Structures are given as C-alpha cells and as structure tokens.
Amino acid sequence: MSLKVLVVDDQGIVRAGFAAVIDAEEDMTVVGEAADGAAAVRLATELAPDVVVMDVRMPVLDGIAATRELTEGGSPSKVLVLTTYDLDRYVYEALGAGAAGFLLKATPPDKLVEGIRTVCSGESLLAPSLTRRLIEAYLQQPPPGPGGSDGLHELTDRERQVLVLMARGLSNDDIAAQLVVAQATVKTHVNRVLAKLGVTTRVQAVVFAYERGLVRPGAS
C-alpha cells in the first residue's frame, strides 16, 4: 500500500522537486500540493494523507500554525517540517505544534524519503545537526533539582544499550543491524525505553541519555 503524501510549499518549483522525488519511490504517492498553510489544512482534511511535508514560511497561514491546527483538530496525518532556516525557534515551535519531524531543505533526496517513512511509522525525527544543537542548549541549562522518578534503573541492559545507540544518532534500522536483531524488535525496545523514562519522543530520550552521562557530546 502506497504512503500518501501532501506537499506544502509556497514555491511551485520546490513543490515540483519534492513531488518528483517522492513519486519516484514505489511505496509513495503525492496525493496533493498546497501553496500555503490554510490550503494545507483543507487538503489534509479532505485527502487524509499519511504524511504532510510542510514548509514553515508561507503566506495566509505559516507551516507552524497549520501544523498546530491539524494536531489540535485530531488529524491522523504526520507532519514533517522542511525549511531552509535551521533556527532553533522554528524547531521548538514546530515540535511544540505537534510536528513529527524537522529536516532542512538541503537534506539529500534519499534522506527525505527515509524521513517520510520514519515519521509515518510513528517515530520522531530531527536532522542530526539540529539534535546536537538542541541537546547542547539543553545541557547548558541548570541541572534538574532532586526528586522525581528516574526510569534509568528500570531499563534492562539491552534497553540501555538501545538508548545509547539512539543518543548516538542511529536509526532503528542502524540499531537493528548493529545488534543483529529484527527492526520490529528494536521498535519494541524503543517504545519500552520511552515508557520507562516517562518521555514521549526520541529527542527527549536522547536528552535524557546525555543528561545522565550515558553519552557525551563528541563521543563516537
């Protein structure tokens, strides 16, 4: 079954480029295009795409506001935000609005389609450079005070290993290859890690790993 994708960007040539890359994949189909956020919300409601590839800066309604409308409206579509601007403010606002992922437009075509598959499968996605910056910014904040539950002790050895590999930027497929297990097994481990740590996204789990010293910036 083909993944249905809605492409949203105010520049026609950019939409055409994204659509060509996506339609070239056997498991993906572009079901619609929109030039602004308001049209994106309307088409997403009508077409029910699996993934909306959303630009940020657009007329009428920007991509962040459109993402928020879709999320608050209960849309099942996953939103993958693509932008030229790697500003931290956009990243925070996009994730806060309910976006499932955030990539730069300079992302290679193969990484774009991989990102679409990733968010469609229910995983969160951030460009590696953005993840590092967010983690570094987070670590510059004062450490959390005492109290509260720390789910680290609840992790099994394998779950802790998966957490470390996630923090090093490996995808589920990469982790499966390294641990020589099925991709479905890795996904199960990831879901258990998130549940035990009391977080909802991979990014939050990565921050947790850095904060607890399981991984350090620059470590391989």
Q: Give Rg (Cα) of the chain.
A: 18
Confidence of residue 86 (pLDDT cuts 50, 70, 90): low
**Which residues does residue 34 pair with via DSSP β-bridges, in sequence order?**
8
The answer to whether the CB of 63 falls within 8 A of the CB of 8 is yes
pLDDT of 215 higher than 50: yes
CATH number of this structure's domain 3-126 = 3.40.50.2300
Q: Using the Cα atoms of residue 202, residue 207, residue 208 and residue 214 in order, give the sign of their dihedral.
A: positive
Q: Are 29 and 5 in contact (CB under 8 A)?
A: yes
CATH architecture classification, 137-211: Orthogonal Bundle (1.10)
DSSP state letter for 60: S
Exposed e or buried b per residue across 83-105, where buried means at least 16 C-beta atoms within 10 angstroms of its C-beta: beebeeebbebbbebbbbbbbeb
Amino acid at 96: G
3-class DSSP assignment, residue 51? strand
Select the more confidently predicted residue: 152 or 69.
Answer: 69
pLDDT score of 8: 97
Task: Look up the pTM and report it.
Answer: 0.67
* Fold matches, 3-126 and 137-211: no
Surface-to-core class of residue 144, CB atoms within 10 Å of its CB (0-12 exposed, 13-18 middle, 19+ buried): exposed
Residue ranges per domain, the chain? 3-126, 137-211
Q: Tell whether the model's pLDDT for residue 146 goes beyond 60.
A: no
As to burial, measured by CB atoms within 10 angstroms (0-12 exposed, 13-18 middle, 19+ buried), residue 47 is: middle
Is the distance from CB of 55 to CB of 30 less than 8 angstroms? Answer: no
Please give the pLDDT value at position 206. Answer: 76
What is residue 119's predicted lDDT score, i.e. its pLDDT?
86
Query: Would you state the pLDDT for residue 217?
Result: 55
Candidates 105, 104, 88, 84; CA nearest to 96 is 88
Q: Please provide the average confidence, as pLDDT, over all residues in the chain.
A: 84
Arithmetic mean of pLDDT, 104-126: 84
Which of 9, 46, 51, 12 is closest to 28 using CA atoms? 51
Query: Which residue(s) pair with 102 in the sheet?
Result: 81, 126
Task: Give strand pairing partners of 33.
Answer: 7
Confidence of residue 80 (pLDDT cuts 50, 70, 90): very high
